[in-house]
Structure 1
Amino acid sequence: MASRRSLEVLAALLLGLTLANTAGAKVYCCEDADGRRQCGDVLPQACYGRSYREMGPQGTIKRQIAAPLSADEISRRNAAERQRQDDEARHAQQRRFDQALLETYPSVDDLDRRRDREVADIQRAIDEARKRDKELRSKRLRFEKDAELFKGRDLPRDLAANLRSIDSELASHNRTIEERTRALEATRARFEADRARYLELSSAAAKR
């Protein structure tokens, strides 16, 4: 059995070399599904969908052609390419950010002063909103005392309107306070991250 297989391989090789020795001829060879060598001056049917070699004169390999990718391999290749592009985009964005950070702040002290100004502006807005909220709640208490005089009866139209208006304004101020409090926390976190990155970039530049 081994002898027969050896003869088949030898015959295929001799065929490939014979075809290759033809002036300017190209020969295409591959191993078929059973591991047997298949060669021809046109791509043998058994080589379709498989890797093959393009042979030149004297049996030299001119090209090695890989087998076509499977659908799963194509999907993995495309996913890897998208990941590579995403990584490149992130790195480019980080480089732009780093450059802008260094150009914006001549020193870390300048960054700290900018942080303190922005934090103070937001805190001032929160304090003003809270002050107004306190005024509105005091005003509502007066309306509530007036409303107690009409317990069990319909409130006068203007008193009911005043209560609805003040409740609406209180709700609006409550949303404003919540939003500005979140903005304050985000601003502090952003400057903390920027400061750490600034120090990291400055330290790296000093070592160069």
Structure 2
Amino acid sequence: MGKLTASVLMLMLAPGLAWAQAATSTAKPSIYTCTTADGRRLTSDRPISDCSAVEQRVLNADGSLRSVLPAAMSPEQRAANEARERKLAAERLAQLDAVRRDRNLMMRYPDEAAHQRARASSLDDANKARLISERRVKDLALERKPLMDEAEFYKGKPLPAKLKQQMDANDAAVDAQKQLIENQKAELVRIGSRYDLELQRLKRLWAGAAPGSLGNSSNGPADAAASAPR
């Protein structure tokens, strides 16, 4: 069990532990006093069950206050407390993750020049893929020319099955490449936007903003790469 999880569990169990410790402690005589919901003032040498729903004062033999025994939580209160502690634990984990991401981002990009080199490299890779697809479209056009020439002999007649199959396959390949090119163009835009947002964050971190203080740092693959150990 991680340290954080163990701490949360201890917080959730704290009221119950306080009652258990109070009930079993025999180190020093104690005086328990409380006022019930109906106004009765009760005193005992052990935790008072009739006052489990209210706070009890634990006094020393001379009447001075030793501690305060909190009211035992109802099932509803306990469930609400557990939910609150889980929420706080999740928020603490998210904050730790944000700090880690920002620190890794600054390690990966110590200055703007390093970030610009990474941007150029990512854009270059995407552009190369787009150019390959565009060349493939041109190659497919060249492959289609002899098919069209052959189809001229069958003008007004059904095409032979093999020729029709070849032309259909060529059409499908061209459509696939054109769709791929559109996706690659969109990827170029996405990469540019991703690095723009990342640079805005880095400029604030370089200027002295504390890691984890800038809100959500998740920008997709760029952050994943920045978060990876180097």
Is the structural similarity TM-score above 0.5? Answer: yes
Letter in 1 for 2:118: R
Structure 1: segments with no counterpart, 5+ residues:
1-23
Aligned: 1:149 with 2:154: yes
Letter in 2 for 1:36: R
Q: 1:106 to 1:48 in 2, by over 3 A?
A: closer
Q: Secondary structure at the match of 1:136?
A: helix
Q: Is the CA contact 2:32–2:45 (under 8 Å) kept in the aligned structure 1?
A: yes
Q: CA deviation at 1:191?
A: 1.2
Task: State, as a whole percentage, how many aligned pairs show the same letter.
Answer: 22
The match for 2:101 is 97
In terms of fraction of residues, the more helix-rich structure is 1
The match for 2:197 is 193
User: Structure 2-normalised TM-score?
Assistant: 0.63
User: Structure 1-normalised TM-score?
Assistant: 0.68
Give the distance between the partners of 1:104 and 1:128, measured in 2 at CA. 30
Runs of 4+ aligned structure 1 residues displaced above 6 Å come to none
Q: 1:77 to 1:177 in 2, by over 3 A?
A: farther
The match for 1:163 is 167
Report the more deviating stretch, 140-149 or 125-134. 140-149
Give the distance between the partners of 1:36 and 1:94, measured in 2 at CA. 52
> How many residues get paired?
181
Higher relative contact order (CA 8 A, sep 6+): 2
Letter in 2 for 1:136: L
Letter in 1 for 2:196: E
Q: CA deviation at 1:64?
A: 0.8
Q: 1:28 to 1:157 in 2, by over 3 A?
A: same
Q: CA deviation at 1:49?
A: 3.2
Give the distance between the partners of 2:152 and 2:62, measured in 1 at CA. 109
Give the distance between the partners of 1:44 and 1:114, measured in 2 at CA. 68
Q: Secondary structure at the match of 1:59?
A: coil
Q: Secondary structure at the match of 2:207?
A: helix
The match for 1:12 is none
Letter in 2 for 1:149: Y
Report the more deviating stretch, 76-85 or 121-130. 76-85
Q: Is the CA contact 2:56–2:68 (under 8 Å) kept in the aligned structure 1?
A: yes
Report the more deviating stretch, 133-142 or 47-56. 133-142
Instruction: Tell me which structure has the larger Cα radius of gyration.
Output: 1
Q: Secondary structure at the match of 1:54?
A: strand
Q: Secondary structure at the match of 2:87?
A: helix
Give the distance between the partners of 1:53 and 1:187, measured in 2 at CA. 63
Q: Secondary structure at the match of 1:98?
A: helix
Q: 1:167 to 1:38 in 2, by over 3 A?
A: farther
Q: Secondary structure at the match of 2:184?
A: helix
Q: Deviations over 1:154-194 (max 9, x none)?
A: x4221232134224423432443243233322221221122
C-alpha root-mean-square deviation of aligned residues, in Å? 3.1
Aligned: 1:77 with 2:84: no
Q: CA deviation at 1:106?
A: 4.2
Report the more deviating stretch, 183-192 or 170-179. 170-179
Letter in 2 for 1:66: P
The match for 1:18 is none
Give the distance between the partners of 2:61 and 2:142, measured in 1 at CA. 101
